[in-house]
Structure 1
Amino acid sequence: MALPEGFLPDADIPAPLHEALGEATERLDDALCLADRVAQAKRSSSEADVDADEMPSATWLALSNVRRAELARVVALSDFATETLARDPGWLPVLDAEGELDESPPREAWEAELAERLEAAEDEAAMQAAIRRFRRLRMLGIVWRDLCRAPRGQGGEAGMWGTARDVSSLAEICLDGALSWLEYHYAPRWGRPALRADGTPQRLVVLGMGKLGAGELNLSSDIDLIFAFAEEGETEGGRRTLSHQEYFTKLGQKLIGALDAVTDEGMAFRVDMRLRPLGDGGPLVGNFATLASYYQDQGREWERYAMLKARPVAGDLEAGAELLASLRPFVYRKYLDFGAIESLREMKRLINREVKRKGMADNIKLGSGGIREVEFVVQAFQLIRGGRDTELQLTSLAAALRCLTDLELLPGEVTDALRSDYAFLRDLEHALQAQKDRQTQTLPEDSLGRERLALALDMADWPALVARLDEARGRVREHFDAVIAPPEEEDDERNTAEDASHEELGALWREELTLAEARETLTTLGFETPEATFKRLAGLHRSRAVATMQRIGFERLDALMPLLLEAVSESHAPDVALERVLPLIEAVLRRTAYLALLRENPDALRQLIRLCAASPWIAEQLARHPVLLDELLHPATLYSPADKDELADELRQSLARVPEDDEEGQLDALRIFKHAQVLHVAASDIVGARPLMKVSDYLTFIAEVILEQVLAMAWKQVTRKYGRPSGHPGERESDEANFAIIGYGKLGGIELGYGSDLDLVFLHDADPKGATDGAKALDNAVFFTRLGQRVIHLLTAMTPSGALYEVDMRLRPSGNAGLLVTTLDAFADYQHQQAWTWEHQALVRSRAIAGNAALCERFEVVRREVLGQPREPEKLRDSVVAMRRKMRTHLGSSDQAGRQGTFHLKQDPGGMVDIEFLCQYAVLRLGDEAPEMLAFSDNMRILETLEESGRLPADQARELREAYLTYRGISHRASLAKAGSQVEIADIDDHRRRVRAIWAQWMQEDDASR
């Protein structure tokens, strides 16, 4: 015998496996004896003695005790390993010597070895044999490492994920090696493809799908592929000229055979091409334009699911990445796509039917709580949120699980459990497939197969393995149901109780009830005008928009409407709530993923009804920008606006997800951010979760962080085209613009409302005689004008998400007749020498918002100097009073309106502007005497400073603050209610009288004359 007795230890092999170990030992012994005889024959033919250490049996006897124990475990667990070693016993010492039994070698080493083998192949048969022997040798090492590592079921880079990565790398190397050989071999006959329009060569693009695309293949997996090429044309340099379509089709067919054909050496990898457009009935290869058109016009939901894992794995990787980038909008929607869940449910239903029909309950991939359900959980989030949270655009399940935690979409304990259970299930799958190198996920029924699995998973016995498996599958099913199960299935008791109600409301929506029945049903639900409500519903149901909906869209609408009617009935005013929410439903009839969002998230539906019932402004915003429905999914943050630092961080993250050169995408991200954050503020305002001052603070913070980002974007865009402006002589160059945005009015006074525009002034401080350093040089003054224009464009440009803000630049020096951007020195000179009193009043409510820090500080110095200069009291008072009269005449209520008992909150005597003018007058009047008056731009802190300095009696300061807060509170609520600025005098008469009295005292203006 070539192997001595006891060469393979059996101490760690359970008794039921001793027979299998014995049989494996006999096979290996016979193989070594045969190999020794062959070696001797070869040496004899050369008339030389056989060197003992060149005999295969000798190299095996040199194995360490540890390696022998591993060998015993491997051959006891894997017929594939036993057969491979029996066929090529010389491979074991080679793998041992190279360390490949302990860790996978660098990918480059595998690539170099296969390239060397293929270089010696003179025909296709030799090429196929080389690939198959290479694959079998490498798989022996992979199986060995997988079966001998410990602990099992823990995942990690050295565990199951490492095995999956190695198999994927092996498949990619074989694909690319075979493709390169085929291209070279057939070049004399077929030629090479013509260059692309940009002058780059064309090669076949091989997209890996499924687990190959994810880099997570199992030990005996099919490889799912899609073939593509960039551009049409004809080959050049061959004996035959082929169209690119014909050339790449032939090449693709050869590539499939190179891996998939069964030869004397077996098969390398089974190749599945059914995921390509139109499956087996479609062309084997498609050009980029054809593929893009197909997915845009005909792509189905399951194809979106399949494309989640698409990755270039061979051929032209760069062109493959280009193709996938063009298909990304098909895979990932810009909005939250809850419609994807129903597609996944349907796929799961089909799988369940197949499992039941074929009796595959023990299938650990497709059965309940199996591998596929973990994948569905992760891919549901990717399909739903991947367009918005681009971090989720990952092919790897392991990486996507980590991302779900980072984005707080699933709790860490859930993703940890899923990762651990998935690793266990995949370990079990690998152990199954290692037995015979066959693609199977069905648990064995024979005792030997079961004992092998128990040992492979380091379990005491089969019952222990089954217990661990049941535990894992139970957890997976629980998490799967939490994400994928339809909402009505989550609570069977409640579902049973509500079935009849939903059926009746569905009949109401579908106009299956008589008018009398509809009236009774709607009255029971609390509607005060049931006939008008029924007519309103019928109008939507009969509308052309509904009539022309695709089937899946109508099914979503049909499923949503009973839930919507039920939620509306729970509001305090069902008629109003329904009237306000129906325009939103009409707005999303062509984007039915939003219908699915509301259908899948009952809490979000309730939040929608609550907000619409409370505010027609919010209802209008949601109908205009349905993407804001996404915000309803998180009530905890919906009613808790972020502070400025959090806002800035969130906006940076949103913009980072959009390519820098995609201006439209960047603008959309800015506008969606703004609308979403304003919605948070409005929601918290409605429920009284934030005091008035905080509401204005948050609205102002939103504008500030947007202005900072807009300026940064404009600076990059303009400097990229014209270069950087030169500074004053001796100044150090900076990446920061010598540019500042100054906020006036409500922005400057930290008092923005929901519909406020932005009063802005732009300043710069570059060398007025300098120029930019770019290829298209501009004078500094022209450069900063272009920069200012760019900022205004970014703020006001209309996109599908609307505009950011209306911008008013009339408060700059000389108003609309002045320069768009002025130097700080020119601004200071204008304020000192030419500005009117009303312009100094405006300057009181100004502050630097964004831009160069040093320039912003210098502006504050100029502001203090201008506001703090001595003024003649009577002349100042007369100017302020005259301006107030002018405003009151043009903007206040008419006499008729006054007699009718209405009051304009801002402009009528005793209103908000009186308080603002009093504050501005006080700053200008007292600034030279009390520098502390110059510190603040907001009215509340100016009033507090007046009180603290003793220049305003405490009772008057309190009365003015209370009146101002009351007015602003009413104004905010009026904005949300779209009610305008006119209120009943009776509601605010006490405040109005006190403000008028204080105005008369301070401004010496007879109250009767007002």
Structure 2
Amino acid sequence: MASDRSSTLTGLARVGFRRLTEADADLNELADLIGVAWGDLRDAASDAADPDAAVSGILFIARRDADAVRSLASSETGWRALWALLGASTGFAEFFLRHPEELRELVDAGTRLPTDVEMLDELLDAVGARDGFAEDGSERAWVALRVRYRRMLARIAAFDLLSASPVDQVPFVAGRLADAAAAALEASLCVARTRVSSTGAAFPREQVAATRLAVIGMGKTGARELNYVSDVDVIFVGDGEPWLRDEVGESRVIDIATRLAVQMMRGLSEMEIEPPLWEVDANLRPEGKQGALVRTLESHLSYYDRWAKSWEFQALLKARAIAGDVELGESYVNAVGPKIWTSAARENFVDSVQRMRERVTDHIPPEEVARQIKLGPGGIRDIEFTVQLLQLVHGLSDHGIRQRSTLAALDALVAEGYIGRAEAAAFSRDYRMLRLLEHRVQLRHLRRTHLMPDEPDALSALARATDLGDTADAVVTMWESVKREVRDIHVRLFYRPLLSAVAALPEGERSLSAEQAKDRLAAIGFRDPGGALRHIGALTSGLSRKSQIQRHLMPVMLRWFADGVDPDYGLIAFRRLSERLGDSPWFLRMLRDSSGAAEDLTRVLSGSRYVGELMEWIPESAAWLDDQQRLRPRSGVALQEEARAIQTRHDNVEDAMHSVRALRRREMLRTAMGGILGVLTIEEIADTLTTISEVTIQATLRAVRREVVPEQDQALDFSVIAMGRFGGRELGFGSDADVMYVYRPNGVEPQRAHELAQALVKGLRRHSEDHRLPLDLDADLRPEGRNGPMVRSLDSYAAYYRRWSLSWEAQALLRARGIAGSVKLIRAFTELADEVRYPVDADPQGLREIKRIKARVENERLPQGTDPARHLKLGPGGLSDVEWLVQLLQLQHAHAVPGMRTTSTLGALEAARDAGLVGASSTDRLAAAWRLASRLRSANTLLSGQTSDVLPTDRVKLDGIGRLLEMPPHSASVVEEEWVRTARRARRTFDKLFYG
């Protein structure tokens, strides 16, 4: 007996049941109710994706109407259809429980799809429609319509579920669903006409009959790509027969049409005895929710001519007349068609489409992103947006790709050469699979959803419903694979047709395709497509190995260039780099075999002229991209060893400095590349740039001293003191190297020592010059500024500071730090500086003078015509505010607070916070402004290759700065807003602490 029981449960498990004991009991009860053998019921369950749900649903129906179930069991096709339906959809189980009499309509279900004509006739019959009016305008008519619609939906679903290959049936099923929706709209409009013209209504029947209302299907409805349960997007166009317009006026006609539209929507969407079918969504109309529900054709066209945004033309791509007045609907579609296909010529059209796709992704709740079939990365929207953008860009001149449906458009794009066959085939296959998943998850409860289930049982049922096996892992593995493939094709599909159209065309045919190629390049972001074409031709023409590899790489690299800040410059720089490297084997291997390195190369070239110009002179730097560790800064010790080795190898200063300049350029380039690619933080960049400058100055000083100071005067001590941001180890790209020079005769005759020191300074300044990457040794912070001697002895500095020092000179010393030359002299100078910059009691008059100078600097030193709010150094909340405040605090408190005796701005600020001199929130605001201003200055220099303290107003440059700061594309406004907000907070804090 136990063995029989075990065998029974094993048989149930083999069919797919999970709750074996409950299933056995349900099957027994169902067998008793309808007279079908237990074993036959078990075998029938094999057609169900979820046998437990199927038998439970059928049992509930049988308890209410056993005869209806028993009758259907005698039909092989109907019986299979019922198990398939209820195994995939608890929503249909609830429908048949409400209406068991509808089971008889499944007798031949699953054998074919109903036609559009059949469905329209059936729904019109459901409401007793004749001459555009229904027999009954009450809720009963809409209940009948909803029941009949779901009967048709069940027949479509049965065919879908029982198909040998449901993924191949997706376009046909989606088309029939759209036809069913159109038929439902038509039938509901008939009920609305009767309702609006019923006894006591405001509109006579003859006026309602003479009112023309066209229903335009949009989105998936218009494209005949509808889901089982989806919003049905529509636009309404109203008009009236000429006699009606003459008699009551246009506004009255639109009033009638609007009342019809409202009632028609209500009949399908509002709660009644029978649940609503789906939402009729008219929000794609002109002005959206705020606009009139119904407009005349002329009003629509006027809006599209004057006010419509780019996304509205993209939405119109799928517009189709689906219900109501067919002639008026076709007139609308024909009239808006030319506007759709010229919309890509609008300024920033491609950019706006891309931003819209990004906004869609950004608005997905974080917890849903990984489960989104439709909107998430690698989902349906990636395919649809890609296809639509290609259509809109190229459809202006090519009528062959003007298709509504996604799959038809894909076929057309392949036929016309805009998409490669492999990518199109993958996109088509993946689109069908994603749509099949979407259909199945909506069937489950007959509810609108685009989320993959996360319960193992639901995933297993989904696997069975999509013919992917019996396990949750099977469907999840497939889905993740599809998402990866879709996402990859989505970001590169624009570019392969460009390669086939430009690189592979014979010379005689190129003139025929040049405009097409230019359109494609312009569409993906190149501002000079003609120039880009020439560079592509130069890179890919010929039969050499290099050209062959470049031809294979160019489509992908064009995609990466187009994703960058300046695709045109990136391509030019890449061509120059390729020409400099020639046929270098390592370069060709890296391009071919290391996709990460090739992508990073396009990123740094399209994102930074600073990098592009340096890489042209240091082409071997491309090899660093193949190993991220090579983008990390080399240690100061390693650089010092290399610099000393240079001095050993070269006998004269000219040769030595040529190699030192090369070292500096190379390491500055390494740092820039590491910064752009996110390998280095802003703090690491500042520290590295400072170290590079120190090593360069030290090496230069050694070389110059060897040439300038004779053997008998070697006792002379000479040192370079770093000042400003250099002294604080806070350099950015483009920063000057503020310095002071000091010497000590140390036994050398004083006048002779002074002359030698001047010669050392002159040699340092001359040999540190670099026309490719300037190193400006700026000594303006020395005593008496530009009017003072370029170099002083230590005693002269001591005498000056003790007798004449001004407050700003003591302030300048706060960041003084010895970096080259005599260590003993640096130590002595530091002791002298400490006496001046860390006084026991700060001079109140001197502090007041610093505040006065700060106010004068703000008023007088800003370049004429510059918006103060955009000046990152001298503007409100900029670097100067933070640094002057910190320095004021240091002058007041550093003697008593050892932690504030540092040349680091942020280090001193944090010490002031720890000492209770500045609040934590104030510290955070000031530090945030200082860091952001530093990052913006460096990013501006990297982007343009030129130094500037002013945040640009050009949106393209701002976006480029944002990208360098690792913001998403199109962040120009975010950059501005972030700076303005951060600077404003810092300025309020500064005013309170500095002047308060």
Normalising by structure 2, report the TM-score: 0.46
Normalising by structure 1, report the TM-score: 0.45
Bigger helix fraction: 2
